[in-house]
Amino acid sequence: MSSIEQKISQAKARLLVDYPLFGTIASKVELVKNDDIQSFKSNGIRLEYNGDFLNSLEIAEMEFVFANAAMHASLSHEARKSGRSGWLWQLSTDYAINDMLVENGLERPHEAHYSERFSGMYAEEIYVLLKEDILRDELEYEADESDDVQNETDKQNSSANLQLSQDEQLFEEFAKATVDTEVKNGEVPSSLERFFTLTCNGKIDWRNELKAALERFYKDDFTLIPPNKKFLHVGIYLPSSTSQRFQLVVAVDSSGSVDEKLLGEFLSELNFLMNTISNFQIDLLVCDDKIRTHKTFYGGDILEAEVKGGGATDFRPVFEFIEKELADTKLLLYFTDLDGVFPKEEPNFSVKWISPKESEVPFGEVIVLEP
């Protein structure tokens, strides 16, 4: 395997771990080397790339490129173009996609189209602004448009265009099904509603949300060689895994306002989930306004601990302890009623607040614990 193939494999695997939605969709995008272009482009079905350009990128930047291709492939360009200039519509969509990817924390290559001017905008809005820019600068917009857009008769007689539209539609259906799954798991990238209609039927069970949150973090290392065989029959190449030790921090709010019945149910459910993971390390922190207990559990242990406290609620000691003593933390599950003092700064790890009620939090995601 060449060095570029190894980097592509590694970037795809990391994307699937870091951003499962983008990674799953990107696994079906066709990659085509094209050294006649400067960097990369996606026509909605395949990703064309310049080999030297792609090889010059860091792995994180390659993740961005594949996430960009995944989104382009999901949006059925021909169906959504609606008579607009094709190249300008592609550019508008690219700006919108890249803005969304940046918002979600992906590392953008310098060559990718991006402007803070278009922050938060839909592709349709960006298209109008770009067209106005072209007209104001007195460029030959009409000539570009006439070269790019076929009349309806030509479109109807073009088997190539028809096949492209059909392929795009099939890919869009696959992408929408993937998005629906992510919605049910409660793990949708920020601002995705600009591109998809997000619907969630019924109430999501908190156990499924918790399980989904854990599953995202319990595999420490991935490789696409050999691939996971589970979905090979439908043409989806997912990474196999070599699991090391799954590390997790669980904090329990022991202030007087926490319901002991819900607390017991939470610990019982978490213990059940841990039985599905063969090799883990769980650091349990019990805290009201200060750390009362720190206990570490390993694979095979039963997750149980005496919960002491009863004072006020202050979340800051847990985050300070993690920063000093548990620097490799990737995921914190904090069981609390959310009535307390939050840290001023967002940590560099993911936080899931497990609470019996909905409430605003300055960072992280709330999973509502219901009986």
Structural domain of residue 273, as residue ranges? Answer: 207-368
Do 93 and 21 share a domain, yes or no? yes
Do 219 and 176 share a domain, yes or no? no
Q: pLDDT tens across 29-69, in order?
A: 888 899 898 888 876 678 889 989 998 999 999 999 999 98
Do 259 and 186 share a domain, yes or no? no
Task: Tell me which of 135, 163, 194 is where a domain ends.
Answer: 194
The answer to whether position 201 is within a domain reads no
Give the CA-trace dihedral at 213, 215, 216, 219, to 10 degrees. Answer: 150
Do 98 and 60 share a domain, yes or no? yes
CA distance 242 to 232: 19
Number of domains in the chain: 2
The answer to whether position 181 is within a domain reads yes
The answer to whether position 227 is within a domain reads yes
Do 225 and 134 share a domain, yes or no? no
Task: Tell me which of 159, 194, 229 is where a domain ends.
Answer: 194
Query: Measuring CA to CA, which residue among 311, 319, 307, 308 is closest to residue 361?
Result: 319
Do 241 and 361 share a domain, yes or no? yes
In order, the DSSP letters of 63-110 are HHHHHHHHHHHHS-HHHHHTTS-HHHHHHHHHHHHHHHHHHTT----T
Do 177 and 242 share a domain, yes or no? no
Do 125 and 252 share a domain, yes or no? no
Query: Measuring CA to CA, which residue among 65, 70, 56, 64 is closest to residue 3?
Result: 56
Q: pLDDT tens across 252-288, in order?
A: 888 876 667 766 766 776 666 666 565 678 899 988 8
Q: pLDDT tens across 174-225, in order?
A: 777 777 776 666 667 777 777 765 554 434 455 666 666 666 665 444 444 4
Give the H/E segment covering residue 33: strand 30-33
What's residue 323's pLDDT? 94
CATH code of the domain containing 328: 3.40.50
- Quick check: 163 pLDDT over 90? no
The answer to whether position 29 is within a domain reads yes
Do 186 and 236 share a domain, yes or no? no
The three-state secondary structure class of 310 is coil
Give the torsion sign (CA, 348, 352, 353, 357): positive
The answer to whether position 18 is within a domain reads yes
Do 276 and 232 share a domain, yes or no? yes
The answer to whether position 39 is within a domain reads yes
Residue 223 exposed, middle or buried by CB count within 10 Å (0-12, 13-18, 19+): middle
Residue 85 exposed, middle or buried by CB count within 10 Å (0-12, 13-18, 19+): buried
Q: pLDDT tens across 120-144, in order?
A: 888 888 888 888 887 766 444 443 4
Tokens of 205: 């069970």
The answer to whether position 167 is within a domain reads yes
* Contact (CB, 8 A) for 70 and 26: yes
Whole-Å CA distances, 258 to 173, 248, 288, 314: 44, 22, 10, 13
CA of residue 47 relative to chain centroid, distance: 20
Do 52 and 23 share a domain, yes or no? yes
Q: pLDDT tens across 298-310, in order?
A: 877 777 667 777 7
Task: Tell me which of 147, 164, 194 is where a domain ends.
Answer: 194
- Average the pLDDT over 349-370 and give the result: 86
What's residue 270's pLDDT? 67
Query: Measuring CA to CA, which residue among 122, 46, 153, 134 is closest to residue 87?
Result: 134
Give the CA-trace dihedral at 226, 231, 236, 242, to 10 degrees. Answer: -30
More confident residue, 344 or 230: 344
**Percent of the chain at pLDDT exceeding 70:** 62
Do 189 and 211 share a domain, yes or no? no
* Contact (CB, 8 A) for 240 and 16: no
The answer to whether position 200 is within a domain reads no
